[in-house]
Structure 1
Amino acid sequence: MTTSLVQESNRKLWLAAIKPPMYSVAVIPIWLGTVVAFTETGTIKIGIFSTFLISAILIIAWLNLSNDVFDSDTGIDKNKAESVVNLTGNRSLIFWLSNLFLAGGILGIFAIALWQRDWTVIQLVLLCCALGYSYQGPPFRLGYQGLGEIICFVTFGPMAVAAAYYSQTQTWSFNYLATSVIVGITTSIILFCSHFHQVEDDIAAGKKSPIVRLGTKVGANVLAWFSGGIYVLIGLFVLLGIFPIWTLLTFLSLPLAIQLVQYVGQYHDQPPMVRSCKFIAVKLHFLSGLLLGLGFVFGY
């Protein structure tokens, strides 16, 4: 019985370390950029979409693993049991494994660039990777200055959606930009929620996360404004004719946003409880992005 419990505990730790739900942050921007391109051109380049999607997942794997490595260097993850570095006890292995994932992801995007004889997409993705590195990587560590949410918004919003859209059309449009604002906010909300339970560790490591700067109570209020802002923007874009009326389907994800805001509002200063709020945020990000894309398809 004891061995079984230990194995189950280890399995849960590994699942938490690998973060399978987090890979939606790779899927949703590619999905939305491709869907907007489809509604404007009437076609989807399946080979390019598939290659881009796999590459984006590999790049997210690099980002997750390398962040564990860089956090282990600062000691901020010393109490984090689900750190891959802590689980393996082998920083060097995880560092080189993360670089292997990065190389695979970049290779896929490079193949798209060669295929289209256009270097725009690879340039955008390389810039995304550079920004991703600056979040935790030395000597920048901009996440420690509280800039992570801004980097997250730009990288997974306008830049990622633009790259996916351009890979399909090799041109630009305002519609993808409006869409990218929504996904940029929902992605940043995930990162914002991940800070609530680790305020003490962040302070000890000198990390000035938004929650360290604001406090958990004000942070919970800010979360409420940004969560509600998603639906205000979608309604506004529909009224302006930027989004088809079918994108109001995204409002079906509103109960998740309400659940997230209420949960954080209740447990914002209780680390053992509030730590799970990021998983609600991931669900919100995925469902709202999926419904937004379907709204474009149905409105086509």
Structure 2
Amino acid sequence: MNFSMWRKALLIIPRISKEEWDELDLISRWLIATRAAVMVMTIFSAVLAGIFAFRAGAFNFWRWILVTIGLYLAHGTNNFLNDYTDFIKGVDEDNYYRAQYGPHPLLHGLMTKKELLTYAGITGAIAAACGIPLVIIRGEWSWLLMALGVIFVLFYTYPLKYIALGEITVFIVWGPLMIAGGYYVITGLPWDWQIVLASLPYAILVTSVLFGKHIDKLKQDKELRIHTLPVVLGETPARWLMTGLLGISYLLVIYLIWTHFFTPVMLLILLAIPTLAEIWPILSNPKPDEKPAGFPDVWPNYYVAAAFHHTRRFGGLLMLAMILDTTVRLIWPDFWI
């Protein structure tokens, strides 16, 4: 077991040769092939669902565990299928963006197509094995939630991403579906539209990461007729829309404080504003042709790197603030009502 590689793969997408790959254990290979470093965003969604459930006094640990594992493995399944679909369609050839920022299981010869589909099938089966008991126990609308999840896993790469619906899909999945849907399944309580609204700041953060990625590869996607939203809008409008969305994520939290859904403790998220200011020069200017001096060694990730940096900061503060907010609600029920 290569524990150091596990840690590395959870923090970054490591570049690796075929010889190094052959020496790795199964878990290391899975973490690298699924791009586990970015899947922390799914863990955040599951944790937020759990915090909302705890706040409602209806937290069920075992349901939460199943939700978390199921969502994480569903995300991994989607990443496998994403690489497989783009590979067989010829998208990832000729030094395409995906092959530049990290190892591609098929393009770099790390796996055969059969091996990748086997990994995807087993990962997806375990995800389903987590979801099916929850659907049976919870019933009602949980069947629809799982069905939507399956549809998005199978069809995000094609056709949704190709017809400017990829960003909207991610927004729905990482907010209303994972957080509000997770809350619904964990607690057994009725569907709560306030939880849906409260899930949107984090949904925006995750969507901003995808936006950044699609702006980074806009020229290549345009040539390949992959009509992501940045391709449809153009680079400058896409950058400004992405920046505007990040601002809205702060305003939504402030609105939820004003309506007394959250307490003023949630203003802790404002500590992420310096990080937003830090990435502002990146978001407000066109992408340079070459990696800027001193820029982290993640090129050609540029806008996506900036968005991910902000998402980690804001997301971490959001989670901490929600834990404190829930604690205040439990200790002082009459505060800010």
Q: Under a length normalisation based on structure 2, what TM-score does the superposition of the two structures give?
A: 0.77
1:90 correspondence with 2:108: no
Paired residue for 1:3?
Answer: none
Which structure has more helix as a fraction of its residues? Answer: 1
Q: Counterpart of 1:72?
A: 87
- Aligned equivalent of 1:121: 142
- Residue 9 (structure 1) shift: 4.7
Which residue does 1:104 correspond to in 2?
A: 126
Q: Aligned residue for 2:61?
A: 46
What CA distance in whole angstroms lies between the structure 2 residues aligned with 1:90 and 1:212?
31
**In structure 2, do the counterparts of structure 1 residues 204 and 89 end up closer, same or farther at CA, with 3 Å as the change threshold?**
farther
Amino acid paired to 1:53: T
User: Relative to 1, partners in 2 of residues 1:243 and 1:274: Cα closer, same or farther, differing over 3 Å?
Assistant: farther
Pair 1:190 & 2:206 matched: no
Partner of 1:56: 71
The Cα of 1:207 is off from its aligned counterpart by 0.6
Q: Which residue of 2 aligns with 1:296?
A: 322
Identify which range, 289-298 or 266-275, moves more after superposition. 266-275
Residues in 2 aligned to 1:271 and 1:125: alpha-carbon distance in whole angstroms: 43
Q: Aligned-residue CA RMSD in angstroms? A: 2.5
Question: Can you list the C-alpha shifts for 1:98-150, whole angstroms capped at 9, x where unaligned?
Answer: 12211111101223334x3536435413312212322213xxx1211111111
Letter in 2 for 1:257: L
Query: What residue is the counterpart of 2:9 in the other structure?
Result: none
* 1:37 equivalenced with 2:50 (yes/no): no
Matched pairs, number: 288
CA, structure 1 residues 234+73, in 2 after alignment: closer, same or farther (shift >3 Å)? Answer: same
Indicate if the aligned counterparts of 2:59 and 2:187 stay in contact, CA closer than 8 A.
no
Among 19, 31, 42, the alignment partner of 1:26 is 42
1:24-80 Cα offsets, whole Å, 9 max, x none, are 221122111111121121x53222212221121111110111101111122221124
1:219 alignment partner AA:
A
The aligned amino acid for 1:93 is E
Q: Is the 8 A contact 2:74 2:124 kept in 1?
A: yes
Please point out which of 159, 162, 169 is paired with 1:144.
162
Matched, 1:161 2:179: yes
The reply to whether residue 213 of structure 1 matches residue 229 of structure 2 is no
- Residues 76, 201 of structure 1: 8 Å contact kept: no
CA distance in 2, matches of 1:121, 1:244: 30
The structure, 1 or 2, with the larger RCO (C-alpha pairs under 8 Å, 6+ apart) is 1
| Contact 1:237–1:243 under 8 Å retained in 2 | yes
1:125-274 matched pairs, under 5 angstroms:
125-137=146-158, 141-171=159-189, 172-270=191-289
Give the alignment's TM-score, normalised by structure 1.
0.86
Taking structure 1 as reference, are residues 279 and 125 closer, same or farther at Cα in structure 2, changes over 3 Å only? farther
**In structure 2, what is the Cα distance between the partners aligned to 1:214 and 1:197?**
14
Structure 1 residues without counterparts, runs of 5 or longer: 1-7
